């Protein structure tokens, strides 16, 4: 429990400094000693928490002394909630089925909402993701662009918490997604399913968007449709 508390304290301090000092990615955070004094925790606790944040991509730590030492902010302020959720998912006892089922519920809702709120800019983002998926040279690259496609839909829903949760769920299921695409033996059908989702959203057809999303996810993860 101590680790979670320290992580939250350090994250809260980083968020506070982002707002108060106008920090942006590339700016340096206070050193371990100063953070420890401000948070009233040991330097070893701060060091451990910063290592967790570095693993999550929030900061980049550099060893040594002088102007190049210390932690540098590497993620956008809006990503902080996602990183906290990702840590929770990684440390909890959630099964992959629970994660995928939750993703199903979020994506169904998001697709329906996106079908009624899509702008020309939103649709351009989805088309770019589809094009990148088509050009992917590996399963891992395909899955990254696949994630971009689905995250764009979650963000189009207009619900920031849904989008943040979806981003965390995608991070938790990334390795499983690679295995799923490999198991399916190709991306041709997956591309067709993604285009069907896009077409429904572009047409403003909420029911078709939800149906296309459901078909895609149950095909990719057949275990979630099993009793």
Range of the domain at 43: 2-76
To which H or E segment does residue 63 belong?
Answer: none
- Global pTM value: 0.64
- How many other β-carbons are positioned within 10 Å of the β-carbon of residue 58? 24
Q: Kindly report the CATH number assigned to the domain that includes residue 196.
A: 1.20.120.530
Q: Are residues 205 and 146 in the same domain?
A: yes
- The DSSP secondary-structure symbol of 28 reads B
pLDDT in tens, 50-90: 776 676 667 787 655 555 567 887 765 555 555 555 555 55
Q: Examine the pLDDT at 165 and tell me if it is beyond 90.
A: no
Q: Are residues 71 and 161 in the same domain?
A: no
Q: Are residues 107 and 210 in the same domain?
A: yes
Q: Examine the pLDDT at 2 and tell me if it is beyond 50.
A: no
CA torsion, points 60, 61, 67, 72, in degrees to nearest 10? 30
What does the pLDDT average to over 160-180?
A: 78
> Quick one: pLDDT at residue 73?
78
Q: Is 62 helix (H, G, I), strand (E, B) or coil?
A: strand
Q: Are residues 142 and 40 in the same domain?
A: no
Q: Are residues 17 and 97 in the same domain?
A: no
As a whole number of angstroms, the distance between CA 116 and CA 112 comes to: 7
What does the pLDDT average to over 195-214?
A: 97
Domain assignment of residue 84, yes or no: no
pLDDT in tens, 122-163: 999 999 999 999 999 999 999 989 988 998 999 888 887 788
Domains in the chain, number: 2
> Quick one: pLDDT at residue 117?
86
**How many whole angstroms from its chain centre is CA 183?**
23
Portion of the chain with pLDDT greater than 90, in percent = 33
> Quick one: pLDDT at residue 129?
94
pLDDT in tens, 105-123: 999 999 999 998 889 999 9
Q: Kindly report the CATH number assigned to the domain that includes residue 22.
A: 1.10.10.10
Q: Are residues 108 and 52 in the same domain?
A: no
Given 76, 103, 129, the domain boundary residue is 76
Domain assignment of residue 60, yes or no: yes
Q: Is 72 helix (H, G, I), strand (E, B) or coil?
A: strand
> Quick one: pLDDT at residue 27?
82
Q: Are residues 118 and 16 in the same domain?
A: no
Question: With contact defined as beta carbons under 8 Å apart, do 71 and 54 qualify?
Answer: yes
């Amino acid at each position: 429990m101590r680790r979670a508390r320290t992580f939250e304290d350090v994250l809260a301090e980083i968020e506070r400094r982002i707002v108060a000092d106008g920090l942006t990615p590339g700016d340096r955070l206070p050193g371990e000693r100063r953070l420890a004094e401000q948070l009233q925790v040991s330097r070893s606790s701060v060091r451990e928490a910063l290592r967790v944040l570095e693993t999550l991509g929030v900061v980049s730590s550099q060893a040594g002394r002088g102007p190049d030492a210390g932690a540098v902010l590497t993620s956008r302020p809006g990503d902080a909630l996602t990183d906290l959720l990702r840590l929770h998912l990684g440390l909890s006892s959630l099964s992959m089925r629970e994660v995928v089922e939750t993703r199903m519920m979020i994506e169904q809702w998001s697709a329906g909402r996106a079908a009624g709120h899509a702008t020309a800019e939103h649709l351009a983002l989805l088309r770019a993701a589809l094009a990148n998926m088509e050009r992917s040279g590996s399963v891992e690259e395909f899955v990254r662009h696949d994630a971009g496609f689905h995250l764009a839909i979650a963000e189009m829903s207009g619900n920031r918490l849904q989008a943040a949760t979806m981003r965390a769920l995608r991070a938790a299921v990334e390795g499983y997604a690679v295995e799923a695409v490999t198991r399916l033996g190709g991306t041709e059908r997956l591309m067709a399913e993604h285009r069907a989702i896009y077409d429904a959203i572009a047409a403003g057809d909420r029911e078709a968007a939800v149906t296309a999303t459901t078909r895609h996810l149950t095909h990719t993860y057949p275990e979630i449709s099993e009793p």
